[in-house]
Amino acid sequence: MTQKPPSLFDWHIVRPAIGNSFRKLDPRLMAKNPVMFVTMVGAALTTVAAFAALTDRGFIIQLAVWLWFTVLFANFAEAVAEGRGKAQADSLRKARKETVARRLRNSREEKVPATDLVKGDLVVCEANDVIPADGEVVEGIASVDEAAITGESAPVIRESGGDRSAVTGGTRVISDRIVIRITMERGHGFLDRMIAMVEGAKRQKTPNEIALTILLSALTIIFMLVCVTLRPFGIYSHTSFSIPVLVALLVCLIPTTIGGLLSAIGISGIDRLIRRNVMATSGRAVEAAGDVDVLLLDKTGTITLGNRMATAFVPAPKVQPEQLADAAQLASLADETPEGRSIVVLAKQQFALRGREVAQAHAKFVPFTAQTRMSGVDFPAVDGQPARTIRKGAVDAIRIHVDRLGGQFPPAVSASVEEISRAGGTPLVVAEGREVLGVVQLKDVVKGGIRERFAHLRKMGIKTIMITGDNPLTAAAIAAEAGVDDFMAQATPEAKLKRIREEQANGHLVAMTGDGTNDAPALAQADVGVAMNTGTQAAREAGNMVDLDSNPTKLIDIVEIGKQMLITRGSLTTFSIANDVAKYFAIIPAMLMATFPGIAPLNIMRLHSPTSAILSAVIFNALIIVALIPLALRGVAYKPIGALAMLQRNLLIYGLGGILVPFIGIKLIDLVISALKLA
Amino acid sequence: MQTSGWLQLAAYIAALLAITKPMGLYLMRVLDAERKTWLDPVLKPLERVTYRVLGVKPDREQDWKQYTLAMLLFSLVSCLFTYAILRLQRYLPLNPQHFGPMSPDLAFNTAVSFTTNTNWQNYGGESTLSYFSQMVGLTLHNFVSAAVGIALAAALVRGIARHSARTLGNFWVDLVRITYYLLLPICLGFAVFLVSQGMIQNFKPYTKARLLRPYTVSVEKKAANGAALLGADGKPVMEEQTIKEQTIAQGPVASQVAIKMLGTNGGGFMNANAAHPFENPTPLSNLVQMLSIFVIGSGLTYYLGRTVKNQKHGWAVWSVMTTLFLAGVLLAWWAEAKGNPIHQRLGVAAAGGNMEGKEVRFGIFNSALFATITTDASCGAVNSMHDSFTPLGGFVPLFNIQLGEIIFGGVGAGLYGMIVFVVLAVFIAGLMVGRTPEYLGKKILAYDVKMAMLALLVLCFSILGFAAWAAVSKWGLAGLNNAGPHGLSEILYAFSSGAGNNGSAFAGLSGNTPWYNTTIGLSMLIGRFLMIIPIMALAGSLGQKKVSPASAGSFPVSGGTFVVLLLGTVLLIGALNFLPVLALGPIVEHFLMFQGKLF
């Protein structure tokens, strides 16, 4: 299930965010973001200057106000991003309300607050009990409502042993009784981590974010140097550059746009994952997902639909396809396996055959047994109809069956059987009496659209590897059909782990999904390990993400979200730096105009006056942060078109756009300012 | 802008393009001690002896710290050596003019200047230095400071090409091989060619020539203590002086000029540098000298592509350099050809543009071209007075230097400076393809960004910091001969030239004062060595990284898009910092010129 994001400016998020923007002015918090810290110091200096100013006071006050707005807008962006997470967290927190646990001590039950539970305790949960903490089912089977964390109302089965033993604190048992061994103390549980993540409370900067912060800080230092040295250069040129004007220049030149939006981008990246019901243990994992270039994908559930399906009827010579389909359908009517059902469905689809007369026909169904390795149906002879004996089964079973009845196994059918096997399918031979009617082809059905998806991934430079327990022949056929780059047949957990290590040794970053306990080492080894929520506690601990929907296809979404986060950061950085060009053309002529009126031609935007030019640049600089908040929260559109095409596209939009947009924006603001006679 | 200029420009670029690959291939051989060169029979024994004398184990490679430390120690010792020669030249041989010692501050400035491959000259060579000082004290550095630059570039390229490696090569081996196999042989041939063009090469005392037509000049009258005499009106008293004789300087010019150009040193034997007939006798010598400035820098881009096994990347870097070079030439040429509107109004303008400060033999195009080349590469040799260019014409050399000498640049230094921008371009734009930025498969992380930005910061600090100080201090202002924006350009040019290790001067600034000698000396040291340390740290970091295999998702570091991206990064990150102060200097001056104001 995918949760709809709240509208970008939902009042319930915006209102507290406004308050928080002011609260974030605390210098200790601001110091974490050097670019905005410098902006705030500049705003403070300008405010002081406004009080001290003898001339141009109106102008300096306006400057100060807009500089403060710049800081507040940046804080607001972060606050909105956090607010969106907080809304999620609040709903999660409701699930965490105080519960009473029924602890088993020496096989006696005692009631203790959930907070007192420690690792290793055993607790009992029956229908309507809330599971007090994360744990593993050690006894019994129960259906559990996990809506609190997944938002999915359909209950799921949790049972001891096997790969569906993990339960999460805060979820509710709906039926039956289970005994749970607590694996995680309260406060460190899954739900707690989830809340902390969503709220961004424990958010640590990711490696790329750190690198970017260094770049932005260094640019800030350079521009501070530029502005500080302008004062002596001004003295030399008999031009006095006032502090407010130098601050305005500084704030316009330092990358405030990306500096103000950087943390919002990171928070909203995680937020987007959570909305797709994926829990990452860290922002680092999300970023790593963007870097992944090898995906290990489980065949079943990710690449193919769960089960084999009948895909074709291949009749023996001189047998009509309808006849084969009819017999196969009759033989499968009582077969409740997905394969059997798919034969019925295929016959219905291809020849409009329905199993209608079966009930009247006093048919006797023959179930599949390990001895005969066949199933089928026997019709007694009634109303002049001859008796019919229809069997379907593996090729050698039917051969023996037909031989015993004195029939011939036609060579053409043998050929069909071989061909189907070679193509990765499973042949099922149908015989009526001693006559072989033909073969039903059962195949793994590749999910619709998956081939295109893999092609997109290939364009992004991501290699897909299919993991399957099938034999190499079958695996190769499915791999070819699905369009994966490589496959591992008859894969064991050890083989998976080995493969991951090999890929990593060659410099690749690997992502995989897994659910069973035996997947845990591979999940831990992978750079991005996505555990299925239905999986074992061991698997959930080993991975660095958990998919609450337990949908392995989502690995691809995760990679895309990771990429999108990086793209958004890069695009806004480029935009922010490119913006400087226009700001130069606004501010530099304005600063020099008083002393060197001859420089007027440099004022290519024809801005109204020096003060309006400087003010317009500062206002643009502030407003662009607000204007880009939606983009920061939503992320730059990600298109799987290859690195070069994407670079060209984003360079054009955010690079060239970043140069042009402010020219237009500053000019427009200047028109408004001069019309209102503000400067 | 005449056709002849266009044709020469096309010929120059074609020639540069043609020698890039051969030079790059030869560099591959020189910089890989395992490879053979055709000079091995002669030089291999010499190379071996050198290692034995120096106690170098040629097959022991160094990590970035050891490499850098070796380079720093070598530079320190050789700098002190030159300082000693300059101070003691009176007691040393080959001093037919009996020049006395250089003053301590000037000797510091000069020794630092040659050690850092800057070759800023606050002295006139022919009137200050003995032949010994020139040939041993300075020429030594012309070779080894160039070799050091190339060695560092090679170490950085190795860092990029290697993976999971701790070492970057051996500094001593690189230094020796570059000097023996690359610089010495080429200079030998080059010097012979220059002599064939009429350049002098001798150890004769200076020649006195009687003027056919003596002339009189009016000069400031000096008191006995050398100070100018002031009249009652406060102006200097002038006196007539008749000039009957001319001193014609002699010396081993050709051998000096060869390495001065090839090693992008630029320190002239004569004060007039490449405008002097003995230092640049013919149009052909002019062309070949200009080519020799770029040849190693250009070849290094090929070496980069070849070594990292992505030749297109090397050509992309070459294209960026060439584009910036072309833009500079065209702007300077255009501005000079357009000339000075005030002269035109007064009817005193030379035909074809601004000829002030230009050697008539070279004219406008070849002066603009030479000025652009010498400042693109941190050469600093000049064949015209940059100070006398029009404001925009003078803006080009200044801007070129402030970009950080990355347009082919000083030998080696140009490449490693450009790679800093490559790393930044890859980092900023690399995110836009949705992966942690990768440069040729290596992830660019916080440490690498830090080092790259540190290199930029150093350049910025040493230019803007010192220039700002000069602009408001009495020592700084004392050296100015021109007022207003032009004076600011002169100050800015001096420190840009120092920090960028260019060494050309805007002139007009009396740099030979203790204050300027010291501050420009410091800016040269900072611009060279404080920049090298973070770059070598970057090389070490890159060398240790693992390589992710290239795929369709890898960041492309070749092709038109990358060229545009790198250009944009150089201009946005490298140049914007200097724009405000440039606006106060040449840009304001340009607009004022059209209002009829000159400085």
Contacts with A621 (C-beta within 8 Å, 6 or more apart), sequence order: A70, A251, A252, A256, A257, A579, A583
Radius of gyration of chain B measured on its C-alpha atoms: 24
Q: What is the pLDDT of residue B122?
A: 85
Long-range contacts of A469-473 (CB under 8 A, 24+ apart): A470/A299, A473/A421, A473/A422, A473/A424
Whether chain A has a CB inside 8 Å of the CB on B164: the answer is no
Q: Rounded to whole angstroms, how far apart are CA atoms B228 and A370?
A: 120
Give the dihedral sign, CA A544/A547/A550/A555.
Answer: negative
A298 is catalytic: yes
Contacts with B437 (C-beta within 8 Å, 6 or more apart), sequence order: A208, A570, B426, B427, B428, B429, B430, B431, B443, B444, B555
Substitution target in A35, A205, A209, A214 with the highest count of B β-carbons within 10 Å is A214
Q: Do B468 and A212 touch (CB under 8 A)?
A: no
- From chain B, the residues in CB contact with A591 under 8 A are 580
Looking at every residue in chain B, the average pLDDT score rounds to 90
Q: Which of A239, A588, A598 sits opposite B595 (nearest CB)?
A: A598
Chain B stretch 139-158, residues whose beta carbon is closer than 8 A to a beta carbon of chain A: none
Strand partners, A426: A442
- Report, as an integer, the average pLDDT of B177-197: 94
User: What is the least distance, in Å, from the CA of B545 to any CA of chain A?
Assistant: 10
User: What is the least distance, in Å, from the CA of B417 to any CA of chain A?
Assistant: 17
Q: Give the phi and the psi of residue B431 in degrees, each rounded to 5.
A: -60, -30
- From chain A, the residues in CB contact with B433 under 8 A are 567, 570, 643, 646-647, 650
Q: What is the pLDDT of residue B182?
A: 94
User: What is the least distance, in Å, from the CA of B409 to any CA of chain A?
Assistant: 23
- Report, as an integer, the average pLDDT of B369-397: 91
Contacts with A316 (C-beta within 8 Å, 6 or more apart), sequence order: A324, A410, A412, A413, A435, A436, A437, A438, A439
Residue B203 burial class via C-beta count within 10 angstroms: exposed 0-12, middle 13-18, buried 19 and up? exposed
Q: Which of B427, B428, B583 sits opposite A592 (nearest CB)?
A: B583
- From chain B, the residues in CB contact with A577 under 8 A are 428, 572-573
Contacts with A526 (C-beta within 8 Å, 6 or more apart), sequence order: A296, A500, A510, A511, A512, A543
Q: Do A229 and B488 touch (CB under 8 A)?
A: no
- Rounded to the nearest 10 degrees, how much is the dihedral formed by the CA atoms of B154, B158, B160, B162? 180
Q: Rounded to whole angstroms, how far apart are CA atoms B63 and A159?
A: 57
User: Closest Cα to residue B570, out of B319, B393, B337, B355?
Assistant: B319
- What the block records as the tokens of A674 is 């001069």
Contacts with B50 (C-beta within 8 Å, 6 or more apart), sequence order: B56, B176, B180
Substitution target in B313, B392, B420, B435 with the highest count of A β-carbons within 10 Å is B435
Q: What is the pLDDT of residue A1?
A: 39
Q: Is A122 helix (H, G, I), strand (E, B) or coil?
A: strand
Q: Is A445 helix (H, G, I), strand (E, B) or coil?
A: strand
Rounded (10°) angle between helices A207-236 and A256-275: 170
User: Closest Cα to residue A167, out of A515, A536, A543?
Assistant: A536
CB B474 within 8 A of CB A330: no
Whether chain A has a CB inside 8 Å of the CB on B342: the answer is no
Strand partners, A441: A312, A427
H helix or E strand, kind and range, residue B49: helix B40-54
Q: Do B428 and A215 touch (CB under 8 A)?
A: yes
Q: Which of A460, A648, A654 sits opposite B552 (nearest CB)?
A: A460
DSSP notation for A199-232: HTTT----HHHHHHHHHHHHHHHHHHHHHHHHHH
Contacts with B153 (C-beta within 8 Å, 6 or more apart), sequence order: B300, B411, B412, B413, B415, B416
Q: What is the pLDDT of residue A152?
A: 64
Q: What is the pLDDT of residue A10?
A: 76
Q: Do A218 and B457 touch (CB under 8 A)?
A: yes
User: What is the least distance, in Å, from the CA of B50 to any CA of chain A?
Assistant: 41
A538 C-beta neighbours (distance < 10 Å), count: 22
Q: Do B436 and A208 touch (CB under 8 A)?
A: yes
User: What is the least distance, in Å, from the CA of B216 to any CA of chain A?
Assistant: 38
Q: Rounded to whole angstroms, how far apart are CA atoms B170 and B33?
A: 10
Chain B stretch 426-465, residues whose beta carbon is closer than 8 A to a beta carbon of chain A: 427-437, 441, 443-446, 448-450, 453-454, 456-457, 460-461, 464-465
Q: Give the phi and the psi of residue B383 in degrees, each rounded to 5.
A: -120, 10
Substitution target in B312, B420, B432 with the highest count of A β-carbons within 10 Å is B432
Q: Kindly report, residue by residue over B299-323, the tens digit of the pLDDT.
A: 999 999 999 999 999 999 999 999 9
Q: Work out the pLDDT band at B453, boundaries 50, 70, 90.
A: very high
Q: What is the pLDDT of residue A37?
A: 95
- What the block records as the tokens of A629 is 């908040």
Q: Kindly report, residue by residue over A193-217, the tens digit of the pLDDT.
A: 767 766 665 567 788 889 999 999 9
User: What is the least distance, in Å, from the CA of A644 to any CA of chain B?
Assistant: 6
Give the length of chain B: 599
Q: Rounded to whole angstroms, how far apart are CA atoms B39 and B180?
A: 9
Q: Give me the total of CB pairs closer than 8 Å, taking one residue from chain A and one from chain B.
A: 222
Which of A121, A145, A163, A298 does the annotation list as catalytic? A298
CB A112 within 8 A of CB A103: yes
Q: Rounded to whole angstroms, how far apart are CA atoms A666 and A672?
A: 10
Residue of B nearest to A589 (CA): B583
Does the pLDDT of residue B325 top 50, yes or no?
yes
Q: Kindly report, residue by residue over B1-43, the tens digit of the pLDDT.
A: 788 899 999 999 999 999 999 999 999 999 987 888 888 888 9
Chain B stretch 528-567, residues whose beta carbon is closer than 8 A to a beta carbon of chain A: 546-549, 551-556, 559, 561, 564-565
Q: Is A618 helix (H, G, I), strand (E, B) or coil?
A: helix
Substitution target in A233, A240, A585 with the highest count of B β-carbons within 10 Å is A233
Residue spans of chain A under pLDDT 50: 1-2
Whether chain A has a CB inside 8 Å of the CB on B347: the answer is no
Q: Kindly report, residue by residue over B410-430, the tens digit of the pLDDT.
A: 899 999 999 999 999 999 888
Q: Rounded to whole angstroms, how far apart are CA atoms A280 and A283?
A: 7
Helix residue ranges, H only, A333-387? 338-351
Q: What is the pLDDT of residue A84?
A: 79
- From chain B, the residues in CB contact with A564 under 8 A are 434
Rounded (10°) angle between helices B531-544 and B139-161: 30
Q: Kindly report, residue by residue over A629-671, the tens digit of the pLDDT.
A: 999 988 888 888 888 888 999 999 999 999 999 999 999 999 9
- What the block records as the tokens of B262 is 């090839």
B147 DSSP assignment = H
Q: Do B554 and A643 touch (CB under 8 A)?
A: yes
Q: Work out the pLDDT band at B195, boundaries 50, 70, 90.
A: very high
ipTM of this predicted complex? 0.91
Contacts with A73 (C-beta within 8 Å, 6 or more apart), sequence order: A21, A260, A622, A623, A625, A626, A629
Helix residue ranges, H only, B377-472? 391-402, 413-430, 446-460, 466-472
Q: Are strands A294-298 and A510-514 parallel, antiparallel or unpaired?
A: parallel
Q: Do B472 and A290 touch (CB under 8 A)?
A: no
Q: What is the pLDDT of residue A2?
A: 46
pTM for the whole thing? 0.86
Looking at every residue in chain A, the average pLDDT score rounds to 85
Whether chain A has a CB inside 8 Å of the CB on B15: the answer is no
Does the pLDDT of residue B439 top 90, yes or no?
yes
Whether chain A has a CB inside 8 Å of the CB on B485: the answer is yes
